[in-house]
């Protein structure tokens, strides 16, 4: 007899993976999954190839090569003056942000613990909590600006709360949290002695100009209780390379490193070498990234608005969460997303799984488009969407 765990039975396969398969089957332009269809910087490719050629192909130090940890600490201090990260005790390099989030969850949570997270959410946070035996208490982010209600947030904290997971800039809503919103979180985390886990994988992809993104680790009161999760994946267009990291106070890092070692041993050595090259890119790289993403955001959002979707342009990340109700009187985002694939040849993601099943009504008519694509790809997708007839 084959028996699987009750934990594994409590969640389904990510809808994003399912949509990915259907999109591939129908040759659809994939605006579902958030991966770039353009090249990463040449410096990264050269460094990865050179590392392989130089036989840098064995297990590296489990929590990251000294060179990459030093480079991340240097780049962090350069980007955010005043943020001093000790590469020896406060950094752990992981296999992407995905593994970092699992390692952090297991390092922090025991069965019976509670963790606060926001809905709509990034799909991994809740399954991770389930696997750790912890309970998710959710706080809703509401359109149009996708902020949280302070009273609802206060009510989610209690004596069992161990951690809060915050995606900032946010996938899927595009929200970038303000200093005031982070101050509320800081007060609550201090009052209940809670760790704030910040998924900052879209740190450099925002449209608020220099200084528009405030790292929670620099917010007064959060310095000693924040774990920042990051990765090469989005900033440098290398989602397939699987290199991420955590920055956290030393005692938390010690726990994260132990879990990480048993999960994966280490992130791939040649890709860590490429990470060193990534950290050395000049500041102009990040400014150019934000400018190019703003153009893509505006191109797609302007077209989606014209076609009839209801949306608020994201302040950050490379997603736009839209209400498809004006084009879909049945208000069934899942059926609508399938129809987009089969009839228009464009894929997006039905957003309903970004909410708990009991709150699914809030996301029922919503879909998420991703725009980390060449402008030609986006233009071709728009042309196909324009041919779609409302029904
Ligand atoms: N966090 C968020 C918010 C994401 O959107 C993604 C990728 N979709 C990840 C983490 C996973 O990142 P990685 O590829 O580095 O594992």
| Tens-place pLDDT, residues 192-228 | 999 999 999 999 999 999 999 999 999 999 999 999 9
Whole-structure pTM value = 0.96
CA of 151 to the centre of ligand 1 (A): 29
1 pLDDT band, cuts 50/70/90, is low
20 pLDDT band, cuts 50/70/90, is confident
The residue nearest atom 8 of ligand 1, judged by CA position, is 34
Mutate to test the pocket of ligand 1, among 105, 117, 124, 233 (most ligand atoms within 8 A of CB): 233
Give the position, in ligand 1's atom list, of the atom nearest the Cα of 244: 15
CA of 97 to the centre of ligand 1 (A): 6
**What pLDDT, on the 0 to 100 scale, is given for residue 16?**
76
Q: Please determine, for residue 128, whether its predicted confidence score (pLDDT) is greater than 70.
A: yes
The set of protein residues with a Cβ atom below 6 angstroms from ligand 1 is 34, 96-98, 122, 167, 171, 199, 201, 231, 233, 239, 244
User: pLDDT, tens digit, for every residue of 341-359?
Assistant: 999 999 999 999 899 989 9
CA–CA separation, 229 and 99 (whole Å): 10
The ranges assigned to domains in the chain are 6-40+284-386, 42-281
End-to-end alpha-carbon separation of the chain, Å?
Answer: 47
| Of 119, 95, 237, 212, the residue nearest 171 (C-alpha) | 119
Give the position, in ligand 1's atom list, of the atom nearest the Cα of 243: 15
Pick the CATH number of 42-281 from 3.40.50.2000, 3.30.1700.10, 3.40.50.720, 3.40.640.10: 3.40.640.10
> Which residues have CB under 8 Å from 241's CB, separation 6+?
48, 232, 233, 268, 271, 274
Q: Which overall architecture, per CATH, does domain 6-40+284-386 show?
A: Alpha-Beta Complex (3.90)
Q: Please determine, for residue 174, whether its predicted confidence score (pLDDT) is greater than 80.
A: yes
**What pLDDT, on the 0 to 100 scale, is given for residue 14?**
73
Give the position, in ligand 1's atom list, of the atom nearest the Cα of 170: 3
Q: Please determine, for residue 17, whether its predicted confidence score (pLDDT) is greater than 90.
A: no
């Amino acid at each position: 007899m084959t028996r699987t765990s009750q934990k594994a039975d409590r969640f389904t396969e990510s809808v994003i993976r399912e949509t990915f398969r259907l999109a591939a089957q129908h040759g659809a332009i994939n605006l579902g999954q958030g991966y770039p269809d353009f090249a990463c910087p040449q410096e990264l490719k050269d460094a990865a190839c050179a590392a392989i050629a130089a036989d840098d192909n064995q297990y590296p130090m489990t929590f990251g090569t000294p060179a990459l940890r030093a480079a991340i600490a240097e780049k962090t201090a350069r980007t955010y003056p005043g943020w001093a990260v000790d590469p020896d005790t406060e950094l752990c390099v992981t296999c992407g942000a995905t593994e970092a989030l699992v390692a952090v969850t297991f390092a922090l949570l025991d069965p019976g613990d509670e963790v606060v997270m926001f809905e709509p959410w990034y799909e991994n946070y809740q399954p991770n909590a389930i696997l750790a035996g912890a309970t998710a208490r959710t706080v809703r982010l509401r359109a149009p600006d996708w902020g949280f209600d302070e009273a609802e947030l206060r009510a989610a904290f209690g004596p069992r709360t161990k951690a809060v997971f915050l995606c900032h800039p946010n996938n899927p809503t595009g929200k970038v949290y303000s200093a005031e919103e982070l101050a509320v979180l800081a007060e609550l985390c201090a009052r209940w002695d809670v760790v704030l886990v910040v998924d900052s994988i879209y740190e450099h992809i925002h449209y608020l100009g220099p200084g528009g993104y405030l790292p929670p680790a620099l917010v007064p009161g959060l310095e000693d209780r924040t774990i920042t999760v990051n990765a090469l994946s989005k900033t440098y267009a290398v989602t397939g390379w699987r290199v991420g990291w955590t920055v956290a106070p030393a005692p938390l890092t010690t726990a994260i490193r132990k879990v990480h070692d048993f999960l994966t041993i280490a992130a791939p050595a040649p890709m860590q070498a490429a990470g060193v090259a990534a950290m050395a890119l000049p500041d102009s790289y990040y400014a150019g990234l934000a400018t190019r993403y703003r153009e893509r955001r505006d191109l797609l959002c302007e077209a989606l608005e014209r076609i009839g979707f209801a949306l608020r342009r994201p302040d950050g990340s490379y997603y736009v969460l839209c209400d498809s109700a004006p084009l879909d009187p049945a208000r069934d985002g899942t059926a609508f997303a399938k129809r987009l694939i089969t009839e228009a040849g464009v894929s997006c993601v039905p957003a309903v799984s970004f909410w708990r099943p009991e709150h699914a009504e809030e996301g029922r008519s919503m879909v998420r488009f991703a725009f980390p694509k060449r402008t030609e790809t986006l233009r071709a997708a728009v042309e196909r969407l324009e041919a779609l007839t409302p029904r």
